[in-house]
Structure 1
Amino acid sequence: MKTGMLAADAAYDAVIAGREGDVLTAYEEAYKTSWVYKELKIVRNAKPLLTKFGTMIGGAVGMFDLWVNHLTGGFSFFGTMKHHKTDAASTELASKHKPIAYPKPDGKLSFDKLSSVFISNTNHAEDQPAHLKLLDPSVPINVNLPKYGEPARLYCPAGVYEVLRNEDGSNPRFQINAQNCVHCKTCDIKDPSQNIVWTTPEGAGGPNYPNM
């Protein structure tokens, strides 16, 4: 939210001053002097360390790195580590993994996705164009389903993506419930075929979290 505010301020100032071409420069300068940049710099190696050393060792090394970063204002013995793959390219084939049988939500400590979406007060006008678009509508069923088990149905926290079938399991169909979208953009980033494009919906659409 803070970076969005910084971007809006930079754009407004540039328009008022008649220097629209300076928006990106002004925004980058504002970002690098903000508390957001300082906090993100401290945790920049957290995920790369987990990827490199695994959960146990990577977690321990990551905590030490965070401690050093915090005390020194951003110094790390590892420098700034890089991810060698995008999240989408890191998705492995379904054949390499066993399906996970998740227990049903108990309604006390765990809850189903749609109940959580309801609490977020997510809403989009029913007659607006869907803001989740497919570059190729055939990819989810013809490519992602056989190769990856169509991960969109699993990683989406709001149950936006579903693979529907007939009662006998035949005729798989990909359905997008854009009304449920909480705007996390996971699909835009994680889709292994990079076939899902998240676009900005109409104003006031999305989660509202009124009780936070």
Structure 2
Amino acid sequence: MSTPIFQSTELTKDFGGLRAVNELSFKVQEGEIFGLIGPNGSGKTTVFNLINGYYPITSGHLHFQGKPLNGLPTWKICKLGIGRTFQVVKPLRRMTVLENVMTAAFNHTESVSKSRQKAMEVVEFCGIAHKSDASAKGLPLGDRKRLEIARALATDPKLLLLDETMAGLTPQEQVDGVQLIRKIRDSGVTIIIVEHIMRVIMSLCDRILCINYGQRIAEGRPEEVANDPAVIEAYLGKD
């Protein structure tokens, strides 16, 4: 197997006496859609917050394209090529859709014209070009989710962390969202996705890692993980 684009080695995060992530190791290959699942409170978003430098790592190591991430500030990790979305989308409400995406495009340029051009390309790619001049505060949830993805893409990521981008969407919006995520992968971006909607995660992912209490309980192809007794117990209980 080729050298992974991303690798976590014994990743651990303590909050006082609480161990939220416990010696978690996994690898993601370039071009994969890699799923991270687990019950509520299992540590999934904490893993994302460690990858992009929002939280300091207690112990363990993270590598992206062979380079260590430990100790780097969030902005440097973003410049290296790791973008992310958030569970709760919070656009810059007083700005338009295009202006929101432009702010993210400044990650790689100081030119207003280049930032605008990049933003126009991204909103077109994400299917919200017709909302470019609309105020972000008036967008329905589905469009806010697409704007969140667009802002992340405007930073030119090589690895994109998607945190519950389907939550609250209608069934048709979920179908459209799956198509967009595949389109992103086909454009050359590797993806790690956290998602609770199982039909979405099972249809999208090449491999899935299931965690509980911050620890690995199963990893493999979607059908393998879905039928793993430890995964079923974590979600449904022993009974």
The normalised TM-score by structure 1 is 0.27
**Structure with more relative contact order (C-alpha pairs < 8 Å, separation 6 or more):** 2
Task: Give 1 or 2: higher helix fraction.
Answer: 1
Q: Quick check: which has more Rg, 1 or 2?
A: 1
Report which of the two has the higher share of strand. 2
